Amino acid sequence: MKKYHHVEVTDFGLASILREESQALQKLPFRWVPLERLREPTNMKLYCEASDVWSFGVTCWEILTFAQMPYCDLNFMFMNALKKHS
């Protein structure tokens, strides 16, 4: 937070530069990642403005709930099924 209660969202910890032909795989925090990013590796380039909106929404959730984990009552199996049908 800056002067006069000015807040900036600037953490791009998951940002990475990949070559067009890259097939790099990585572990992701699935509760914080847009569903389109969780699909099969062939769809890894599906970042868009909606992904940014999702990330911003999760950030707002964490701020408004005093850092509660998003989707804390969902298990990995449910999230895995959800991503297949998204």
For residue range 4-51, list pLDDT tens digits in order.
777 776 655 555 555 555 555 556 676 777 766 666 555 555 566 777
Q: Is residue 21 part of a domain?
A: no
- Structural domain contains residue 17: no
**Region 45-67 average pLDDT:** 78
Over residues 44-64, mean pLDDT: 76
For residue 34, is it within any domain? yes
* Domain hosting residue 82, numbered range: 27-86
Number of independent structural domains in the chain: 1
In a domain, 12, yes or no: no
Q: What is the pTM of this model?
A: 0.50
What pLDDT shows up at residue 54? 79
Mark residue 26 as left, alpha or beta (left: phi above 0; alpha: psi -120 to 50; beta: remaining).
Answer: beta
pLDDT over 70 (residue 64): yes
Is 60 part of any domain?
A: yes
Instruction: Render the burial of 19-45: b for 16+ CB within 10 Å, e for the rest.
Output: eeeeeeeeeeebebbbbbbbeeeeebe
Q: CB of 37 within 8 A of CB of 45?
A: no
For residue 6, being part of any structural domain is answered with no
- Classify residue 71 as left (phi > 0), alpha (psi -120 to 50) or beta: left
